[in-house]
Amino acid sequence: MMSAGVGVDLEDLWIRFGDFVAVRDANVDIRGGDFFSFLGPSGCGKTTILRAVSGFLEPSDGRVLIGGRDMKGIGPNKRPTALIFQNLALFPLMKVWENIAFALEIRGASAGERRKRADELLEMVALTGQGDKLPAELSGGQKQRVAIARALCAEPDVLLLDEPLSALDLKLRQHMRTELREIQQRVGITFIYITHDQGEALTMSDRIAVMRAGVIDQIGNGREIYNEPATAFAASFVGENNVFRGTVKEVRGAEAVIDTNRSGTLLATVSPANRDKMKPGDKAMLFIRPEAFSIAETGTSGDHFVTARVTNEEFEGNVFNIFMEGEGGKELKVSLPNLGQSFESHLGAPMTLAYDVQNAVIVPHGDLATE
């Protein structure tokens, strides 16, 4: 399936609006048939990239290639892409089937042919028999599916999705994730998905690009992004993370010792993107996920133990969350899986945690994602 689709390449892509640089030197190679996500906070330039791929925006510099073909000067109506808008942009005065078959109408297909294709697509998105309704008569999730069917009707090589799930409620959003992924695997074309929701990006994507302020920080599959973040931003934006600031004291192959501001010297793994680039004396950040901790004997010391005072404890069902005094006023969060074990409260008292050096990542000092 991977070989079938048409790939998209961004080469040295710059997009400027006056003095403002929206996208800075982006280089991305999106493989044909992949589900590729751009993940980043609002205003990071991800939608701008999508508009450059769809043709609504010309790059200031660099190239957009679709299927190896330079798209310069080719308008959105001539590109093999279809865009699903954040607000879906269904045509309110056309019936559902007319909406879906709009691309065929433009190509001059007969009404019968259009209706037939629309009905096929309606069946594919599980909306059989809803063709004669108006978009306003459908629920949010149904509209979503109509928008997908309408985009697929154009038989694009690349489907572009601009946060299409953001208007849905949580349950439906989670359901639509699975559905979108299924549809993508069925049609086998390249999907480029824009989102600020890391859950969406992680669950659906083959590969993800993490973006910040116009710059792509990291490209990789979900596990690489989550486990081996390349930058402080990627580490703090994707999933929950605890940060320890400090200076590199010693590098031992893939591992390094950090002299942290508050928790003594700690041993951790340098993330693969930064290996051989960090040397003693560099300012660094150490990230440990809440679920990477385990409880140790209070008072134990060593290069993979952290001791701090517990400020709050909560039971969330699948996990116990423990909040401890962290650095810079931020809490240190620990999540212990609920395996039916007994749980001893440490509220107000110090507690010692152990972590696996494999799951603690060192990146160069940098900006954190702000919530």
* 87 binds another protein per the rule CB under 8 A: yes
What's the CA gap between 232 and 124, in Å, rounded?
Answer: 42
Spell out the residues 6+ positions from residue 164 whose beta carbon is closer than 8 angstroms to its own: 84, 85, 86, 88, 144, 147, 148
- Kindly tell me which residue out of 57, 71, 83, 256 binds another protein, with binding defined by CB under 8 A: 83
Nearest distance in Å: CB 167, another protein: 13
Residue 269 in tokens: 């793994």
Q: Which of residues 88-117 bind another protein (CB under 8 A)?
A: 89-94, 102-103, 105-107
- Helices and strands (H, E) in the chain, number of each type: 9, 20
Among 3, 18, 42, 77, binds another protein (CB under 8 A): 77
Q: Is 179 in the site for another protein (CB under 8 A)?
A: no
Q: Is 187 in the site for another protein (CB under 8 A)?
A: no
Closer to another protein by Cβ: residue 78 or 175: 78
Please, which residue, 142 or 174, has the CB nearer to another protein? 142
What's the start-to-end Cα distance of the chain, in Å?
Answer: 38
Q: Which of 194, 265, 221 lies closest to 229, judged by CA?
A: 221
- Identify residues 35-74 at the interface with another protein (CB under 8 A): 54-56
Site for another protein in 122-151 (CB under 8 A): 150
Instruction: Please give the structure tokens belonging to residue 307.
Output: 């001791």
Residue 60 CB contacts under 8 Å (≥ 6 apart), including other chains: 14, 15, 16
Segment holding 102, helix H or strand E: helix 102-106
CB of 47 to another protein, least distance (A): 12
Question: Looking at 39-47, 77-85, 239-247, 311-319, which segment touches another protein (CB under 8 A)?
Answer: 77-85
- Chain residues in the site for another protein (CB under 8 A): 54-56, 75-78, 81-83, 85-87, 89-94, 102-103, 105-107, 150, 154
